[in-house]
Amino acid sequence: MANGKFIAYHRVSTQKQGASGLGLEAQKEAVSRFLNGGEWELVGDYVEVETGKGADALAKRPQLKAALAACRKEGATLIIAKLDRLARNVHFISGLMESKVKFVACDMPEANELTIHIMAAFAEHEAKRISQRTKDALAVAKSRGVVLGRAGADNLRPNVEARQKLADDFADKLRPLLDGMKARGLPQRGMVAELNAIGVPAPKGGSWQLAQVQRVLARLGQPQ
C-alpha cells in the first residue's frame, strides 16, 4: 500500500510517440494502479519526449532532471511505470544514486540501487556485444576476399580475443550477485530463477538457462 508523496516520471522516445500518446497512457495507468489505496499524494507529473542519446543522460532528459529536483524539494519518491525506462545507462544510474532521491518502479517495486546498477551494467554490456558482433561480421566478410591461411586467421584472431574479453567482463560484472546467491546457499537452478526474476539479461540476451549459469561460474573459476 503506497504512502507519502510521489512524483511521476513518464518517458517516450520520439516526438511522434509523444504527440500520439503511444505508451504514455499505459505508463500513467500503471502508476495509477500502483498508487491505488493507501495515504499518498501525487505532487508532480513529468513527461519526457526524448529526441536523442548522449553520454550525459540528465542533459538529454530535462524533465527527469526537473523531476529529481522536485523530489528533493518535496521530499517525494520518484515513481516510474517500468524499470527499463531508466535502467539502461550505467552513468545515469550512478547519477540517480548520487542524487539520493528514493524511487519505485511499478513493474518491480522490490528493486533497489544494487538491482538497477546491475541491470544498467548488463544493458551496457549488451550494447558492446552488438557492436562487437558487427565488427566480427565485417572481419569475416573481409577474410572471404583472401586466400584462407595465415592471413585469414590473423584477420579473425583479434575478434576472437575481443569476444573472450567481453565474456570475461560480463562474468566479472555478475560475480558480486552470484557470490551473494552462493552465500545464501542458492543452488544453480535457483540462481537461474533469480536472475530471470530480477531481469538481468543472459549473455546472449533473453532468459537464463542452467547451462549459461554453469558456463559463467566456470569462467569465474567457481566449482560446478
Q: What are the residues facing 48 on neighbouring strands?
A: 11
Which amino acid is present at 126?
E
Q: Are 48 and 97 within one domain?
A: yes
Least confident of 56-60, 88-92, 118-122: 88-92
| Burial class of residue 16 in the structure, from the number of CB atoms within 10 Å of its CB (0-12 exposed, 13-18 middle, 19+ buried) | exposed
Q: Are 107 and 8 within one domain?
A: yes
Q: Which residues contact 181 (CB under 8 A, 6 or more apart)?
A: 190, 191, 194
> Which of the pair, 69 or 156, is modelled with greater confidence?
69
CA atoms within 13 A on the CB side of 173: 24
Quote the pLDDT of residue 181: 83
> Which of the pair, 20 or 128, is modelled with greater confidence?
128
Task: Please give the mean pLDDT across all residues of the chain.
Answer: 75
Dihedral of alpha carbons 195, 196, 201, 207, sign: positive
Q: Are 8 and 106 within one domain?
A: yes
Quote the pLDDT of residue 136: 64
Instruction: Decide which of 66, 89, 111 is a domain's last residue.
Output: 111
Helix axes 150-183 and 210-219, enclosed angle (nearest 10): 100
Q: Are 53 and 26 within one domain?
A: yes
In SS3 terms, 77-89 reads as: EEEECCHHHCCCC
Q: Are 87 and 160 within one domain?
A: no
Domain housing 100 = 3-111
The model's pLDDT over 143-189, given as tens digits with 9 standing for 90+, comes to 555 444 444 445 445 566 777 777 888 888 888 888 888 888 889 99
Identify whether 224 is part of a domain.
Answer: no
Instruction: Decide which of 46, 77, 111 is a domain's last residue.
Output: 111
Q: Which residues of 110-137 are buried (b: 16+ CB within 10 A; e: fewer)?
A: ebeeebbbbbbbbbbbbeebeeeeeebe
Helix axes 113-143 and 90-98, enclosed angle (nearest 10): 160
Domain count within the chain: 2
Q: Are 184 and 132 within one domain?
A: yes
DSSP 8-state assignment for residue 76 = P
Q: Which three cell numbers stand for residue 60?
A: 538529454
Whether the Cβ atoms of residue 42 and residue 4 lie closer than 8 Å to each other: no
Identify whether 201 is part of a domain.
Answer: yes
Which residues form the catalytic set? 32
Quote the pLDDT of residue 198: 75
**CA distances for 119 relative to 18, 177, 199, angstroms:** 26, 11, 7
